[in-house]
Each structure stands twice: as structure tokens, then as C-alpha cells.
Amino acid sequence: MGCITTYTRKKFDPLHPQAADFDIRDIAHALAFTCRGNGHVKRFFSVGQHCVTCAKEAIARGYSDRVVLACLLHDASEAYMSDVPRPFKEVLPEYVKAEEKLIDLVYLTFLGSTLSDEEQKLVKKVDDDLLYYDMKELLDVTLDGIAPYINICLDYSERRFEEVEREYLDIYKRYKME
């Protein structure tokens, strides 16, 4: 497979990623331009906005800086591989393996190691809790169960790509691992 050219003009091979090829600016930029739900939403809401919201919720829950950053980065693979809806992933085991390899390398690159089982659970909980509200607000679909408690005010307004990208980068700079 060939490489993609990123926003910062790097050549990136999603199936053979190298840590040195990641650039947080590429991730922030691409996710700000990527629509949540493969575009099947009432209005544009980016994956970048979702990741920023996840990070803000993790902050509000008092999670560690590392978990906040993991929440911000949890969909970073979509900057390089796009996304595949969950039902379709079930029949694409090679895609799932490549995605897992890519996100593990993202965490290793930006956090210094992959996530522990406990950290993975915290990130997934934030992501799933916000999915409940994403489905309700963006698709008029109410998922089964009780609405999860959210600590922040959710904002589904359409935002300029540049604003989302800047906020993503600001959160990254504040919480990045030294």
C-alpha cells in the first residue's frame, strides 16, 4: 500500500506507521474536518469536536492528565484511516487490527506507553457516555437505558474548523506528557 500525504506534508503509511511520522497538527486538523457518524447527522459535528468534548468531560471527572490526553487522542486513528461504522468493523478483522496497531502507536508516541486496562475503561466510559447524547442530539435516537450523568454543558453548535483545531491543540499543549 502507498502512503497518504498529511496536512503537514508528511508521507504516512497507515498500515506501517512510524512514531516519527505523527504530528499532532495533522491529527487536530484532520479530525476538525472529519464529520462524526460518517456524515449521517442532522448538522456537521466533527470528530475533533467530539474528542475535545471527551477531554473536557475527563477533566470535569477529575481524571489524570494522561487520561484527559487519551480522551483527546482516542479517535486519532481516524485522522489517518478514516472511520468504519461499528457494524461493518465486525466483518473487517484486518482493518480492526490495523486500527488497534495505529492507536497503540499514537498512545505510545504521545503518552509514552499504551493505555492500561483501567485507563482504557475510563476512556471508553467517557466515549460511550457522550455517544448517548451524540445519538440523541445529532440523530434523534435515544439509546436504551438511563441517560448517563455528564459534568459539562454539551455544545453541538456548528463551529469553524479552525476553532476546533485550535482548541484541540490547546488542550494537547496543556496536558501533553513531558
Q: What are phi and psi of 35, to 5 degrees?
A: -80, 135
Q: What is the pLDDT of residue 38?
A: 87
* In the predicted structure, residue 28 carries a pLDDT above the cut 90: yes
Q: What is the pLDDT of residue 177?
A: 79
Beta strands (DSSP E) in 86-173 are none
* In the predicted structure, residue 178 carries a pLDDT above the cut 80: no
Q: What is the pLDDT of residue 2?
A: 83
Q: Which whole number is the average pLDDT over 36-44?
A: 91
* In the predicted structure, residue 139 carries a pLDDT above the cut 80: yes
Q: Which whole number is the average pLDDT over 118-127?
A: 98
Q: What is the pLDDT of residue 1?
A: 58
Q: What are phi and psi of 99, to 5 degrees?
A: -65, -45
Q: What is the pLDDT of residue 89?
A: 85
Rounded Cα gap, residues 123 and 142, in angstroms: 22
Residue entry with cell 436504551 = 144
pTM for the model stands at: 0.95
85 CB-contact burial (10 Å; exposed 0-12 / middle 13-18 / buried 19+): exposed
The proportion of the chain whose per-residue pLDDT surpasses 90, expressed as a percent, equals: 88
The proportion of the chain whose per-residue pLDDT surpasses 70, expressed as a percent, equals: 99
Q: Which whole number is the average pLDDT over 72-83?
A: 94
